[in-house]
Chain A
Amino acid sequence: MSEITATLVDLVERVTENPDVTEHTRFEGLPNWVSLSALRLLADIEDEFGVRLDLRTYFAVSDVGQLSALVDTALAAS
């Protein structure tokens, strides 16, 4: 698991109060996953990595692995 993915797993676990998140965890399947948790996660990701994501691409990702790729791309562009 990449460092970015590992950090994202931590963040998702914290935001959703769910200890069993992996690279393959799908957001839709998580308990407590509502649009406000998605926005809390967004704030934490942007804070942690110093990136700014396009909401359209952010909401298009469906699992942690895809999110990691999105953050990786944003980091490369910044």
Chain B
Amino acid sequence: MSKDNPVTARIRAARENADPGVLAALDDLVGFAETRDAGRLLDGLALSRIAPPGHRARPLRVAVVGTFTAENVAPLLRVELVRAGIDPTVLVTGFDQLMTQLTDPDSELARFGPDVTLCLLHDGALMPMTWDPTELAGLADLAGSRLSALAGAVAEFGSRSAGAVVLNTVALPRGERRKVVGFAERARLGALWRDLNVRLLGLADTSPSVHVLDLEALLTDHDAALRDERLYRFASMAWTPGVEREYVREAAALCRAVAGRARKLVVVDLDNTLWGGVLGDDGPHGIEVGGRYPGNCFTELQRALVALRRQGVLLAVCSKNEPALVEQVLATHPELTVQPEDFVTTVANWGRKDENIRQIVASLNLGLDSVVFVDDSSFECALVREQLPEVAVVQVAGDPSGHALAVLEPGLFATLATTATDRDRTALYQARARREEFAASMSSPADYLASLGLRVTVSEADEYSLPRLVQLGLRTNQFNLNPRAHTEADTLAYAADPDRLLLGVEVEDRFGREGVVSAVWLRTGAEWTVTNMVMSCRVFSRGVEHAVLADLAERAAASGVSALHALYRPGERNRAASGLLTGFQPVDEHEGATRYRVAVADVPPAPAWIELCRKEQTAHV
């Protein structure tokens, strides 16, 4: 450690002269002090001074509000978020202001308008300073009522703020636990404390915008002390820097999910990654997988990948191997936990991996920034890092017992909640591949569309579709009329408000159900305004958007409305969405977007190859 850590020195210099290489260099920050200093130096520094031209960072407003002083959380978080392609604005409020910040409609926090509010909790938020170890029931009542007050404040804030609110479970410090000498009473204290944490965790079920990080669980195998008593007594610092780092890593993963920066695809190598040994040299019976060490370590990585796949992460193989041999092993090796159908595509050839990844991503219609590449080879990892800087590279090296956690630990796939579509995603992409084969077999695109048997169902959001609609709003980059127009809480408000309408679109064809693939946010009234529409890239080029528009026109006409408006904010990636506006005329600039208009009578009917369906409406949520 010295004052001239190369990364912090570069950030300092970038204040005077822009240095586009700094962003990538942030990955070299390892130690606590240098990361903290980097985060402090990044405060107020425009990202354009440290990022390559064309870097598209997503703005995110994050508030840090604590029941204690957590000096390093903001700078550490800033580094993590900037690394993840987010341009954060961070507000830190004074210590121990949590309740007033949440409940006062004119508080610093309320005026800041956060996308994410991190409410840092320590034991002092629930425990009184003085408590009687012979009256544990009284302690439970008191701490319980403090927790109720906190829950009330969170709910009140949630009623006014559109952002996510993040709480955490709380560890009881050793000094408090040791005040009880009876083992029977210690067990009771442990139980009452866990009850409080269980109640805290339960708050996540009270509202989709409340999230609870299980910090107490994260600290069980954490190697640093919970708190430094000197700094707690002197400056109300309840967490050591090690705990702050642990918290920040988890909070940053959640912020990435809020900002739609979660990774969606794992591209995984085979030899010495998915199994031990080299298939070409050792043969199908010589590779290490299953059974005892080290084969069981590779099985554990496979279990981790299958777990990810079940929650919506796509898996693809990219291996330098003979394709026929790979196909045979994946299909028949008795010890493999992964099955061929877990993979959305399997690429085995002798080509360059960066080229292969490009092709995989293009065939799935995803962005490179949604990819995690897992490989044991330093050469392949360096090549991908160099050629495809947007890809997250996980090099699995050394003892294979660490491989599974190396993939899972960085929290690259974190989402706010998984949906039914996530569970079926691999099958959906596989159906898409079959559809493409079928398309190639047809003589013309029109024949192809006509023979697909497309059914499009547009319906109002209900409790089943709502989580998926929220997710579509956050994750969709390409077909997105008005990017970032609606936060999670905003979308929930659309579903609940009688003057607004949130519609979900389901698509089905002869190859199966695509599920809910599109969402429309509408302000109703004398003239209807589409404030946003998003559509998954899975269903591009089938005229689905025009069927949706025809449905909107029918709904508008039925309500006696004669014109539809739509807001379009062109960006770098959402040109696909402009196709919807064929037939619309630009009217004016409105809320930072261009407002377009079309007369309801001029909206063409749904394309001939699409059957537009209506669903029995369930109760309005």
Residues of A within 8 A of B (CB): 7, 10-11, 13-14, 35-36, 39-40, 43-44, 47-48, 55
Contacts and interface: CB of A to CB of B under 8 A. Distances in A.
Given A14-B37, A44-B33, A39 B3 contact: no
Interface residues of B, number: 15
Contact of A39 (B1, B2, B32, B71): B71
Contacts of A7: 2
A40 B1 CA distance: 14
A55 B235 CA distance: 11
Interface string B21-46: 00000000000110011000000000
B234 A14 contact: no
Nearest to B234: A55
Interface of B: 1-3, 8, 32-33, 36-37, 71, 230-231, 234-235, 237, 241
7 contacts: A14-B3, A14-B8, A39-B234, A39-B235, A40-B36, A40-B71, A48-B1
B489 to A, nearest CB: 33
Contacts of B237: 39
Nearest to A55: B230
A10 B3 contact: yes
B33 A39 contact: no
The 9 tightest CB contacts between A and B, nearest first, are A14-B3, A10-B3, A55-B230, A13-B3, A44-B33, A10-B2, A55-B234, A48-B1, A36-B71
B230 A47 contact: no
Contacts of B36: 40
Given A14-B37, A44-B33, A36 B235 contact: yes
Contacts, number: 28
A12 to B, nearest CB: 9
B3 A11 contact: yes
B68 to A, nearest CB: 13
A7 B1 CA distance: 9
Nearest to A44: B33
Contact of A44 (B1, B71, B231, B234): B1
A10 B235 CA distance: 25
A9 to B, nearest CB: 9
B18 to A, nearest CB: 20
Nearest to B31: A47
A49 B312 CA distance: 47
Nearest to A43: B241
A35 B33 CA distance: 17
B248 to A, nearest CB: 16
Nearest to A11: B3
Nearest to B37: A14
B37 A39 contact: no
Nearest to B3: A14
B235 A35 contact: yes
Contacts of B230: 55
Contacts of A39: 71, 231, 234-235, 237
Nearest to B41: A17
A55 B1 CA distance: 23
A55 B2 CA distance: 23
A35 B235 CA distance: 9
A51 B235 CA distance: 20
Contacts of B71: 36, 39-40
